[in-house]
Amino acid sequence: MSSPLVTYASLGVAIACEVMGTTLLQQTQQFTRLLPTLGTLVCYGAAFYFLTIVLKTMPVGIAYAIWSGLGIVLISAIGLVLFRQTLDTAALIGLGFIITGVIIVNVFSNSVSH
């Protein structure tokens, strides 16, 4: 059984790899550019590998909720900064709810291994 530090570090790496892969996805131009396409595939492969480490000690529903929730927030921030995509008030409120949900799951749920 992995320690909570290994579990959360692996989850952090999985999230980072997924976010990098998704960021590169836009640069692939529908998989017509080789280097961004290869980078996307490597990042997604690494993301799923590290997620399997997390799933040794954390239920898949909880791990995926954290992974996808933080991924959405990070990708939205990257879109805002790198791609100059705008977020309206409703989007910001929704992202706030996602962050709140991730915090509630991590702090109050007995399903998360601590």
pLDDT per residue as tens digits for the range 59-92: 998 999 999 999 999 999 999 999 999 999 999 9
Cα(71)–Cα(47) distance, integer angstroms: 11
pLDDT beyond 70 at 105: yes
Cα(14)–Cα(100) distance, integer angstroms: 20
Predicted TM-score of the model (pTM): 0.87
Model confidence at 6, pLDDT cuts 50, 70, 90, reads very high
Distances (CA, A) of 108 to 4, 49, 85, 113: 16, 27, 34, 11
Cα(114)–Cα(61) distance, integer angstroms: 16
Looking at residue 1, its pLDDT comes to 63
